[in-house]
A and B are shown apart, each in its own frame.
Chain A
């Protein structure tokens, strides 16, 4: 079936199309990109079959980061899981903390205070900005524009400074706990956040000029890794990758959690579904998150940030199962949790957006791409290997 037909039939079984290559013919060559390679976003390996410098086939290999988090959580009390869950995704730990906490809260029937909901939303949006800014830098770096990469890393660090002030930690915050937050905002936090947001908005103006108006970037990203709109469901595509493809799917507006119901906003839907369009959409989302943070800061109500919990060492969560989800910087992230009524979770399954993006989708998109653009394509899908392996 032709590519056009594959793109019009959303449920076309592309998995059946995997061709075989005669390596002995000398026409094809097998090369590995990763697991240690600057062009791979994290520890994963790409087994590429190339013809000249065009990739004809790819197999993604994971397993270099497996730490068995889901298994470890089965042997730990609910509160003991928090140092684990934040490490599931290094650039965005807050979503894991929030989802684990909200799954426990739902099973245990705990309602968190209003102020805690607002501050949780604030931290999640700050985490989105930190991740998307770093991702934009990674995208620029993958095309050899390291300057933008360094600007973006510096500005992510400004956000990490805010996290350090708020939580005491830069990367793994362990700030969100069942029942609310560990502690309240620090005095003057809103003013310092505003100063960082201004810096990031200024950075986005510069990124527009240096990255998005750059003729080399425009020509290299044009048509790279186009995701057809009908592929969104069959491949389970989520987040900015799906919105750039024309889908309006955003967990924040589709199934509002925390206080997103009270924040009047609409998901940004892109017009271009290639690497350029996805990056541009992310830039717009950074600015949108900055606007949301300003609105949150102006409306945070007074009150407590935590409800009293039972003794965490003797806490038994009622039996049951639930699934909670949130919109992380990479897309839909979800936690499925089963409790059997004991003090330990029976099963925790983490659904990260990179899972399908990296394995099924990437293997499909990379065919026909030049070796030099593989890194750019991977960065444009914002793949985070730690959450694939959990």
Chain B
């Protein structure tokens, strides 16, 4: 693994980010050389299995951090290749020519984070979201609560209660209730309860 990291550092300007365990390290590679580095790992490094392509939105740094997680079935090791791309113009070279399964991940990243992968087959086709007109939902600045309030209507017959007041009212008996006993308390907590309870 050390030789692989050394080669990545020398040839592709990689930097070791984290050494989680002997079989799993994370390196970061500049965006313009990332596809080459990933291709080198596949063809020369023995990392023939693409486990996943993922993305972390570091909104405070203004970057998306892409992750290409590769696995070497022979050496039984994994390497995560991080690629930082700017958040305001997110675009990355496609690797669909390296792994047939990569186009699916890229299509999902396009939809969920708005990252473009020019040339990837069907990358602009909606995958999970249909008729979506908001900002990509997996971005950190997507407000799920505001979206839900705007999109869905409150159902008839439902009311919202304050959790603290509701707990105090329903769970803890008042002094008067304690004096009158448990049967009265049960009647009030479960109004219209079973016949057994009323008898």
Closest to A334 in B: B51
Q: Tally A-B pairs: CB < 8 A.
A: 99
Contacts of A338 in B (CB 8 A): 56
Within the assembled complex, what's the spacing in Å between the Cα atoms of A364 and B78?
A: 27
Are the CB atoms of A336 and B73 closer together than 8 Å?
Answer: no
Are the CB atoms of A66 and B128 closer together than 8 Å?
Answer: yes
**In the assembled complex, B174 has its CB within 8 A of some CB on chain A:** no
Closest to B105 in A: A355
* Contact size range, A: 35 or more
Contacts A63-B129, A63-B130 known; A70 to B138 CB distance under 8 Å? Answer: yes
Are the CB atoms of A235 and B128 closer together than 8 Å?
Answer: no
Are the CB atoms of B100 and A15 closer together than 8 Å?
Answer: yes
Are the CB atoms of B18 and A351 closer together than 8 Å?
Answer: no
Are the CB atoms of A71 and B56 closer together than 8 Å?
Answer: no
Are the CB atoms of A236 and B51 closer together than 8 Å?
Answer: yes
Are the CB atoms of B78 and A355 closer together than 8 Å?
Answer: no
Closest to B144 in A: A71
**In the assembled complex, A310 has its CB within 8 A of some CB on chain B:** no
**In the assembled complex, A316 has its CB within 8 A of some CB on chain B:** no
- Minimum CB–CB distance from A256 to chain B (whole Å) comes to 10
Q: Flag the segment in B19-27, B29-37, B153-161, B164-172 that touches A.
A: B19-27
Contacts of A367 in B (CB 8 A): none
CB 8 Å contact bits of A67-78 with B (1 = contact, 0 = none): 010110011000
Are the CB atoms of A68 and B56 closer together than 8 Å?
Answer: no
Are the CB atoms of A13 and B51 closer together than 8 Å?
Answer: no
Are the CB atoms of B104 and A359 closer together than 8 Å?
Answer: yes
Are the CB atoms of B129 and A66 closer together than 8 Å?
Answer: yes
**In the assembled complex, B121 has its CB within 8 A of some CB on chain A:** yes
Within the assembled complex, what's the spacing in Å between the Cα atoms of A71 and B23?
A: 28
Within the assembled complex, what's the spacing in Å between the Cα atoms of A351 and B67?
A: 13
Within the assembled complex, what's the spacing in Å between the Cα atoms of A159 and B52?
A: 32
Contacts A321-B20, A322-B24 known; A254 to B52 CB distance under 8 Å? Answer: no
Within the assembled complex, what's the spacing in Å between the Cα atoms of A14 and B101?
A: 11
**In the assembled complex, A260 has its CB within 8 A of some CB on chain B:** no
Contacts of B130 in A (CB 8 A): 63
Are the CB atoms of A75 and B128 closer together than 8 Å?
Answer: no
Are the CB atoms of B73 and A249 closer together than 8 Å?
Answer: yes
Are the CB atoms of B20 and A351 closer together than 8 Å?
Answer: no
**In the assembled complex, B54 has its CB within 8 A of some CB on chain A:** yes
Are the CB atoms of B129 and A75 closer together than 8 Å?
Answer: no
Are the CB atoms of B103 and A321 closer together than 8 Å?
Answer: no
* Contact size range, B: 35 or more
Closest to B128 in A: A63
Within the assembled complex, what's the spacing in Å between the Cα atoms of A356 and B50?
A: 10
Within the assembled complex, what's the spacing in Å between the Cα atoms of A11 and B67?
A: 22
Q: For residues 326 through 369 of chain A, which have their beta carbon under 8 Å from a beta carbon of chain B?
A: 332, 334, 336, 338, 346-347, 349, 351, 355-356, 359-361, 364
Within the assembled complex, what's the spacing in Å between the Cα atoms of A63 and B50?
A: 23
**In the assembled complex, A106 has its CB within 8 A of some CB on chain B:** yes
Q: B52: which of A62, A334, A364 is its contact (CB, 8 Å)?
A: A334
Contacts of B51 in A (CB 8 A): 236, 323, 325, 332, 334, 351
Are the CB atoms of A14 and B100 closer together than 8 Å?
Answer: yes
**In the assembled complex, A389 has its CB within 8 A of some CB on chain B:** yes
Are the CB atoms of B78 and A236 closer together than 8 Å?
Answer: no
**In the assembled complex, A18 has its CB within 8 A of some CB on chain B:** yes
Within the assembled complex, what's the spacing in Å between the Cα atoms of A325 and B138?
A: 23
CB 8 Å contact bits of B51-87 with A (1 = contact, 0 = none): 1101011000000000101000100101010000000
Contacts of B105 in A (CB 8 A): 355
Within the assembled complex, what's the spacing in Å between the Cα atoms of A69 and B55?
A: 15
Contacts A351-B51, A351-B52, A389-B128 known; A323 to B73 CB distance under 8 Å? Answer: no
Q: A233: which of B49, B76, B78, B103 is its contact (CB, 8 Å)?
A: B49
Are the CB atoms of B97 and A235 closer together than 8 Å?
Answer: no
Within the assembled complex, what's the spacing in Å between the Cα atoms of A233 and B126?
A: 26
**In the assembled complex, A255 has its CB within 8 A of some CB on chain B:** yes
Are the CB atoms of B24 and A68 closer together than 8 Å?
Answer: no
- Minimum CB–CB distance from B177 to chain A (whole Å) comes to 30
Closest to A256 in B: B76
- Minimum CB–CB distance from A236 to chain B (whole Å) comes to 4
Q: For residues 92 through 150 of chain B, which have their beta carbon under 8 Å from a beta carbon of chain A?
A: 96-101, 103-105, 121, 126-130, 137-138, 140, 142, 144
Q: A13-B97, A346-B56, A351-B52 are in contact. List 8 more A-B contacts (CB 8 A).
A: A71-B137, A235-B99, A236-B51, A320-B20, A332-B51, A336-B54, A361-B101, A364-B100
17 A-B residue pairs with Cβ-Cβ distance under 8 Å, sorted by A, are: A63-B126, A66-B128, A66-B129, A233-B73, A233-B99, A234-B99, A235-B101, A320-B18, A323-B78, A332-B51, A334-B52, A334-B69, A336-B54, A336-B67, A349-B54, A351-B51, A355-B105
Ranked nearest first, the 10 interchain pairs of A and B with the lowest CB-CB distance are A356-B101, A63-B128, A349-B54, A236-B101, A233-B48, A359-B104, A351-B52, A347-B56, A360-B101, A234-B100
